[in-house]
Amino acid sequence: MSVSVEWSAWRVALAGMRDALSLPAWVVGFGLIGVGSLARDVGYPVEVAVLSTMLVWAGPSQVIFFASIAAGAAWSAIAIAVGFASLRFLPMTVAILPLLRRPGQSVWMQLLLAHYVAVTAWTEGLRRLPHVPPPQRVAYFLGFANACMAMSSLGTFLGYYLIGALPIPFAAGLMCLTPIFFLASLSAGVRHRGDVAAILLGLVLAPICARFIGGGFDLIVAGLIAGTLAFLLRPRKPA
Amino acid sequence: MTQPLITQPIPWLDGPFWPFLALLLFAVLPTEIWRWLAVAFSRRLDANSPALEWVRAVATALLAGIVAKLIVAPPGALAAVPLALRVGALAVTLGIMLFDRRRVMLAVLAGEAALIGGAYWLLTP
């Protein structure tokens, strides 16, 4: 949906929400159902499950947090594993903030915008924000991201009470929604052969690194190697 | 049922609010810190600089890596589905996206249909 320069902030935010509810918000919402069920398994209250979605706002990190508690991991090991899983937010946030930055914008606003950076808001944001007029981008992004967060909180809440009751094929389908959507979303955002290389090399190298590198470092190593190769393969801009 | 394996609270911090405290200390903080650092860093970077192109390439590869890891070593109920079916569902999605990049919804639904349908066909006697 295209956004006009003349629209009020609220109308732009609503357009963002509408775009989110066209699919992405539903996918993250469904994707976080599993987190609710994991939180329940370790005996934590439903408030902690829903708060983890709103405050951590990173499905893989939440899965690691609750699954590690269930496995009896040390608190330090849990914090390190979550930290590594979330390291990707550093480059991701650095990449998206220039699209959202405005003259005179406060650091607090940037911290707030950065909080919403997670896979969905990031891939969809990089794809959609360039088509939104720069003064409207913050409102659009906040509308989009908050719609995703609201659906996800609802999904986490429902999962806390529901998932154990589902037949395996549907439970598996819900768990698989995350990787399927990540991949579709990444493919939709492809701009040139460098992006294609990053996706394919990442897909191939991650399981190989997982096999040979331990201690939770495998994903970072795979990402650095695949990303650097893809960077070298990117087409050069005409000077 | 008792769960002897579960990670126990840190004794001197234990109390009714322990789960909330654990969430803040061991999940929110290690995640949010990277977003904060990014805000500090990004002010000094130009959007079209090669450094940012590299950062974006690494982030894209990391995300693709997570997809591969979730498929190869899946959590929970997904592990009950054979690897070939998980990879197949992903291939269906990728195939549709290669055919037409705007068909995100169709690609997601077709991948899911392949997985759930296949799981029913394989797992129900």
Q: Note the pLDDT of residue B10.
A: 86
Q: What's residue B46's pLDDT?
A: 66
- Average pLDDT of span A92-111: 90
**Average pLDDT over chain B, rounded to whole?**
86
Q: What is the mean pLDDT of residues A114-134?
A: 91
Q: Which amino acid is at A131?
A: H
User: pLDDT value at position A46?
Assistant: 95
Question: Tens digits of per-residue pLDDT, B34-70?
Answer: 999 999 987 776 666 787 788 778 888 888 988 898 8
**Over 80: is that where the pLDDT of A22 sits?**
yes
Number of domains in chain B: 1
Give A5 to chain B, closest Cα distance, Å.
22
Read off the pLDDT of residues B59-115 as tens digits, 9 standing for 90 and up: 888 889 888 988 988 767 788 899 999 999 999 999 999 898 888 889 999 999 999
| CB B32, CB A52: distance < 8 Å | no
Q: What is the extent of the structural domain holding B84?
A: 75-125
Task: Say if B5 falls within a structural domain.
Answer: no
Chain B, 102 to 121: residues with Cβ < 8 Å from chain A are 102, 104-105, 107-108, 111-112, 115-116, 119-120
Determine the residue type at A237: K
CB A92 within 8 A of CB A184: no
pLDDT of A239: 45
pLDDT at residue number A178: 77
User: In the structure, what pLDDT confidence band is assigned to residue B1 with cuts at 50, 70 and 90?
Assistant: very low
The answer as to whether B104 is a domain residue is: yes
Tell me whether residues A91 and B55 touch, CB distance under 8 A.
yes
Asked if A224 has any chain B CB less than 8 Å from its own CB, the reply is yes
Judge whether A48 is closer than 8 Å to chain B, CB to CB: yes
CA distance A69 to A41: 10
Q: Cβ contact (<8 Å) for B45 and A94?
A: yes
For B35-85, the DSSP string reads: HHHHHHHHTT--TTSHHHHHHHHHHHHHHHHHHHHHHHS--GGGGGS-HHH
Residue A215's nearest CA partner among A104, A113, A83, A32 is A83
**Residue A238 predicted with pLDDT over 60:** no
Around B38, how many Cα atoms within 13 Å sit in the side-chain half-sphere? 31
**Residue B89 confidence (pLDDT):** 96
Q: What digits encode the pLDDT tens for the residues A128-176?
A: 999 999 999 999 999 999 999 999 999 999 989 887 788 888 888 887 8
Residue B2 has pLDDT above 50, yes or no: no
Dihedral in degrees, nearest 10, Cα atoms A15, A23, A227, A179:
160
Whether B124 has a pLDDT exceeding 90, the answer reads: no
pLDDT tens track for A195-226: 999 999 999 998 998 888 765 567 778 888 99
Residues of B in contact with A112 (CB under 8 A): none
Q: A104 and chain B: CB distance < 8 Å anywhere?
A: no
Res. B3: pLDDT tops 50: no
Return the pLDDT at A81: 78
Domain contains B53:
no
Which band of pLDDT confidence, cut at 50, 70 and 90, is reported for residue A1? Answer: low
Residue B25 DSSP one-character state: I
B13 — contact with chain A (CB < 8 Å)? no
Taking contacts as CB-CB distances below 8 angstroms, the residues of chain A near B76 are 34, 37-38, 171, 175
Please check whether residue B100 touches A, CB under 8 A: no
Nearest residue to B66 (alpha-carbon basis) of A92, A165, A3: A92
Q: Has residue B24 been placed in a domain?
A: no
Identify all chain A residues contacting B91, using CB atoms and an 8 Å cutoff: none
* Angstrom distance (rounded) from CA A42 to CA B7: 9
Does B30 contact A82 at a Cβ distance shorter than 8 Å? yes
Does A23 sit within 8 Å of B105, measured CB to CB?
A: yes
Phi, psi of A192 (to 5 degrees): -160, 180
pLDDT (0 to 100) of residue A214: 62
Within a domain: residue B100? yes
pLDDT at A45: 94
A187 vs B45, B94, B120: nearest CB: B94
List the single residue in A with minimal CA-CA distance to B41: A94
Q: Inform me whether the pLDDT recorded for A103 exceeds 90.
A: no
Residue spans of the domains in chain A: they are 9-187, 190-239
For residue A237, the model assigns a pLDDT of 65
What is this structure's pTM? Answer: 0.77
Q: Which of A73, A88, A169 sits opposite B7 (nearest CB)?
A: A73
Candidates A75, A109, A183, partner chain B, best to mutate (most B CBs within 10 A):
A183
